[in-house]
Structure 1
Amino acid sequence: MSDNMKTKKGIALLLSSVLVMTLAACSGGNEENNASSTASSPAESASASGSPSASSSSAPADPLGAYSPPIEVSAVRSITEGMKFNEGEAIDNNVWSRAYESELGIKLKYDWTTPAAQYDQKLNISIASNDLPDITPVNAAQLKRLVEDDQLEDLTSLYEQYGSELTKKIMGEDGGNAIKSATFDGKLYALPNMSSGIGQTHVLWVRTDWLKKLGLSEPKTMDDVVNTAKSFVTGDPDGNGKPDTYGLGINKDIFGFYAAMDGFFNGYHAYPNTWVKDASGKLVNGSVLPETKTALQKLQDMYKDGLLDKEFGTKDATKVSESANAGKLGMYYGYFWNIGWQQDGKNADPTMEWKPLPLPTADATPAKAQVPFAISTYYVVKKGAEHPEAAIKLLNFDYEKLWGATAQPDVYNVDKNGIATFGYALLYGEAPRKNLDAHLNVVKALEANDPSPLNAEEKLYYDNIVAYRGGDVKMWGNERMYGPEGSLSVLQGYTANGNLVDDAYFGAPTQGMTDNKATLQKLQLETFTRIIMSGSIDEFNKFVTQWSDLGGKTITDEVNEWQAAQ
């Protein structure tokens, strides 16, 4: 399962457990305020409906104008594991598909759908046979291949003509890197699925009720993290008289969105899986730098001392979350929305209390959280499609109904039955600052006891926090994310204080990445796992050499050629 799909699954679990409309990181991704033009009626917009003659014109078009008569647009898509529908509905008959037809005059027809795990394989067959629908979600490698094979429509002028004010605002909030990543030789060939890199940074989640019970302060340094983990193992924080608690959670993939070590490594100023600049300004991969070796040594020491689960190599994020909910885990690193996975534990034991903390540091220099390049999915239009502008109109509509002035989050985000309807949208995206801005607005409204300035989504968070403070423990997760001391306040602190390290490479996959990335990832996971589980730390030096020989040097040369051309 790709990181993007893991994130979507995580969001769905959060939504069902907390019953809020937090959209992380589909993470990835995540954040924005409203502003948009509203849709005109079909009669008013018929002349700007995006007919072939209109689409070739340079005149401004109605971003949400309906086609009259309606048109049919073909597409393919994956179906996320656990996707649920209301009775009588399906992926081709739901609130989104009906709105596309009634409000845009676009009849969406799926040539095929498939479970997410099989999507890339099935799509690659379609690409090889030059058998694409009008609109296709692709990954970065597939986008590059399609551009090279001349299978895609140039969207440059169409985006300028049909893109709504809101769409262009959201697309530009990352400084333009998302659009750049979809641009080849000056031509825009795809619409990025916008997400939040900031929303994929780590915080340290800590059982503060255990801290209080054991007389401990909140950890601020990496030594504090180690010592707190030791107290959580030896101090019997659950009070059952048995040595059955773990200090720090870690999942079998080591890195990722929950109980992952990205934030731990960041505490030692290491940035694995991220391209950073060295002293000379060249791009280097953080996985092979000395700081990563230092962090691995610390994890090995913690494993030897029993502060990590001895069987972590067999446990995924879900298994680790089960330990946390059962009251057997005291700390873990993860995303701002991970607290949703602890709601079941809070419901069962209202005395359980988790708090998000900024990343502790190993020395006097503040830790900086690594920020991945957040775009993993792109929407492309096949060359020769009759209405290529329809993809842009669909994206305008999605942004408007989710984040715009006429947004209806209780319909298009999560409905009254708790169904995550946002997953039905063919095109999707979130502004990088959507959740950060929502947090700031909600806190301001709570302080003023006045929710009137809030948009519909923010008002829901406000109401849920008020409900929690009134005694509804099931709304606790909202307080822990959007409240004054919530996880988004930690991310806002990173932003305000400049404690972020962006992935410096945001281009399409290089040939070396296409050929060697899977091999290098496998090598890294196997080596790091062995080192943590008491293997020789000298294996790291061997790993660096192997990484370079198995394609790492080639990739490094390629990304530096890319940087020189920027």
Structure 2
Amino acid sequence: MKKKKLVSMLLAGAMTFSLLAGCGSKPTDAGTADVPASEVEGGSVSTETAGSQEAAFQKFPEVVEVHIGQGVSPTDTLPEGLSVENNQYTDYLLENFNIKVVVDWTAASGNDYTQKVALCIASNTLPDAMTVSREYMLKAARSGQLYDITDLFQQMQSPQVKEVMESTGGEAIKEASVDGRQYAIPATEVETAGIQVINIRQDWLDECGLEAPKTLDDVENIAKVFAEKKPAGEDTIPIAGPDKNTSCYTTFQETATTTGGFDAVFSANDCYPGIFLKDENGNVTYGTDSAATRATLERLADWYQKGYIDQEMGTRDSTIELINSGKVGMFFGAWWVSGYGIGDAYRNDPTANWQAYPIYTDDNRYYVKAGSATTGYCVINKNASEDVAKAVIIMANVLLRDESKFDVSEQPLDFWPVRTLMAPADECEYTYHELINVLDGKTSPEDYQGISSAYKLLANDVSVVKDVVPGYESGKQLSIEDFSMENFGDFQRMYSLLIGDRPYATTTVDKKTRSCVFSQTPTMESKWSNLLSMEKEMVMKVITGKSDISAYDEFIKKWKAEGGDTILQEVAELQ
């Protein structure tokens, strides 16, 4: 049990209460205290005298306008009379913090928004704040258009935001920085989103008298038995593969892993295609270019040829729908897929006992491929006033702390101004252990209530877990029959956490590998799209037997000649 973290959360809540009571001030609806006049300088909240908690949630003495550019989903709408700059979120910011949001422009999320961001940077007409990808954050920072928030962010970030940043081991701030200076507020993702596990029908294993897999040899043997015994009848598919919209493995520009891809298979062979690595001598290499990657492709091709992998991989409309149909025995995916992703599998067959496991190397070591710590960035115009920069940071603080206060049924969180999503890197693992503690009776749901923490869903999770898992027995592996599906949404979340994230939450990782770069170099801007297309085509053809392994060798030569060697040099220069 992570006892120290829970104790620190409880102490933090008690200290905040004491601080408010000691000041003789009454909390507002936002849970903030009034600002003593001595802590206001020139109409601005002083970050020198204010404590971290106070500065992070202070109300400006005068209204501060923040002009933004906003992406809007074409499918999300607001109730009549409301708009992107007049809704529950903008009202909340104005009422509680004197922050007035002014939307200079909107664009449809996706390509339209990206084009608008590119135009703003090219013409040096950034609004006060907007959210961007890493590529555009770097472009704007290197062209001198962004506010250097290095010191201000440290002064103004809330304890919850600081907790999130520290949970990434410094990676989030590093990825939001250029030449050692921070130019953006990073959005973060749970680390396990990039970690792939194997999901397997435990009821099929039990029926066939098989143990859960540990190595790739075990996976192959199970696939062989499933192919022979056909637990789902003639349509049995031992291992699902990627569909036409997904890939065989993730690349350096992706945060989350794929559903149906084979990242875990490559990791078990200590190879990491699609990302850039530094070898033991500090030299930059491309993970696809390795003897181990070549050998893994040959093994996957052998599995496909023997009928172990879905024969329609790469062309099937939906791998998820295939899994939901009950025909699949195994698939690789992220923690959330076993619950959130395949809900219809349980509606179709409530006895489908999907279980998640780690896959080890042949010498029983657990190697994983992890994605970027960040998923996006909120940037601030270098010409913005200090108050505006502070306001933008406060907006990020408030979203993390108060997200659960809002009714999102009619006003989706996508309408939060310059929304920067933040989750502690270890949120799923921490939650897993606290759920087990509650189920074991070591803690009670009441222990988690009223605590201001970056783990914003934890209080609700622990409050429902006993109802969702009535069949829990300490020391016994959870099974589908231990869960109640009465509240299906709660069931999906609990199953994802307690089954899907169990491998990463309970297994010691012997080696965690990330790309040494997460953004494009100058040559990539003109060459990468073609190189990646070539790579995906080669991989799919080799695995499905349309090309033999010589196609891999030819691809590596072509990759190097058509820009790969130059890209490796550029990546090395960034190290």
Please indicate the TM-score interval, normalised by the length of the shorter structure: 0.7 to 0.9
Matched, 1:487 2:500: yes
Other structure's SS at 1:45 match: coil
Q: Secondary structure at the match of 1:249?
A: coil
> 1:355–1:480: 8 Å Cα contact kept in structure 2?
no
* Structure-to-structure mapping, 1:502-541, within 5 angstroms: 502-506=513-517, 509-534=520-545, 535-541=547-553
Q: Is residue 373 of structure 1 aligned with residue 372 of structure 2?
A: yes
3-state SS, counterpart of residue 324 of structure 1: helix
Q: CA deviation at 1:458?
A: 2.1
CA–CA distance in 2 between the matches of 1:326 and 1:418? 33
Q: Which has the higher contact order (CA 8 A, sep 6+)?
A: 1
Which residue matches 1:336? Answer: 335
Give the match for residue 358 of structure 1.
358
- Structure 2 residue aligned with 1:4: none
Farther-moved stretch of structure 1 (162-171 vs 439-448): 162-171
Percentage identity across aligned positions? 24
Which residue matches 1:476? 491
Number of positions where the alignment pairs a residue of Structure 1 with one of Structure 2: 514
Local SS of the residue matching 1:388:
helix
Distance in 1, matches of 2:530 and 2:9, equals 41
Mapped contact 2:200–2:355 kept (Cα < 8 A): yes
- Is 2:44–2:61's contact at 8 Å kept on the other side of the alignment? no
Query: In the alignment, what sits opposite 1:167?
Result: 161
Alignment of 1:40-119 (within 5 A): 41=28, 44-45=34-35, 54=44, 58-60=48-50, 62-80=55-73, 83=76, 91-110=84-103, 111-119=105-113
2 CA distance for matches of 1:192 and 1:263?
A: 27
1:120-135 matches, cutoff 5 A: 120-135=114-129
**Offset of residue 397 of structure 1:** 1.0
Structure-1 residue corresponding to 2:564: 552
Q: Is the 8 A contact 1:182 1:190 kept in 2?
A: yes
Aligned-partner residue type, residue 212 of structure 1? D
CA offset at residue 57 of structure 1? Answer: 7.0
Local SS of the residue matching 1:107: strand
User: Does the CA contact (< 8 Å) of 1:442 and 1:454 recur in 2?
Assistant: no
Q: Secondary structure, in 3 states, of the residue corresponding to 1:288?
A: coil
1:205·1:334 contact (CA, 8 Å) conserved in 2? yes
Q: Is the 8 A contact 1:199 1:335 kept in 2?
A: yes
In 1: Cα distance, 2:526 partner to 2:554 partner: 21
Structure with the greater alpha carbon radius of gyration: 2
Q: Which moved more, 1:68-77 or 1:372-381?
A: 68-77
* Higher alpha-carbon deviation: 131-140 or 54-63: 54-63
Map residues 453-464 of structure 1 onto 2, 5 A cutoff: 453-455=447-449, 457-464=457-464
Closer/same/farther in 2, CA of residues 59 and 49 from structure 1, 3 Å limit: closer
Cα 1:544–1:196 shift into 2, 3 Å: same
Equivalent residue number for residue 277 of structure 2: 276
Q: Distance in 1 between matches of 2:79 and 2:230?
A: 45
Instruction: Provide the C-alpha distance between the structure 2 equivalents of 1:86 and 1:242, rounded to a whole number of angstroms.
Output: 51
Partner residue of 2:395?
Answer: 394
2:455 is equivalent to residue 444 of structure 1: no
Q: Specify the code of the residue in structure 1 equivalent to 2:375.
A: S
- Shift in Å, 1:297: 0.8
CA contact under 8 A between 1:202 and 1:359: conserved in structure 2?
no
Q: Which runs of 5+ in 1 are unaligned?
A: 1-31, 403-408
Alpha carbons of structure 1 residues 231 and 81: separation in structure 2 relative to 1, 3 Å: farther
Q: 2-side partners of 1:223 and 1:213: how far apart?
A: 20
1:460 maps to a residue whose letter is N
Residues 335 and 497 in structure 2, CA contact (< 8 A), matched pair in contact too = no
* Corresponding position of 1:25: none
Q: Deviations over 1:55-113 (max 9, x none)?
A: 79755472111223333212223335755767876654544333222222222233213
1:43/1:334 CA distance change after superposition, 3 Å: closer
The answer to whether the Cα contact below 8 Å between 2:145 and 2:382 also exists between their aligned partners in 1 is yes
Q: Residues 541, 355 of structure 1: CA spacing in aligned structure 2 closer, same or farther, 3 A cutoff?
A: same
Counterpart code for 1:248: A
Alignment of 1:271-310 (within 5 A): 271-310=272-311
| Contact 2:200–2:329, Cα closer than 8 Å, also in 1 | yes
SS at match of 1:312: coil
SS of structure 2 residue aligned to 1:330: strand
- Alpha-carbon distance in 2 for matches of 1:306, 1:51: 72
Q: Distance in 2 between matches of 1:323 and 1:427?
A: 34
- Residue 287 of structure 1 aligns to a residue whose secondary structure is coil
1:194-224 deviation per Cα after TM superposition (whole angstroms, max 9, x unaligned)? 2233332111111111212222221112122
Flag the 1:367–1:157 CA change in 2: closer, same or farther, 3 A.
closer
Measure how far apart 1:33 and its partner are: 6.6
Q: Provide the residue aligned with 1:225 in structure 2.
A: 219
For the residues of structure 1 that align with 2:209 and 2:183, how far apart are their CA atoms? 58
Q: Which residue of 2 aligns with 1:10?
A: none
Measured on the aligned residues, the alpha-carbon RMSD in Å equals 3.0
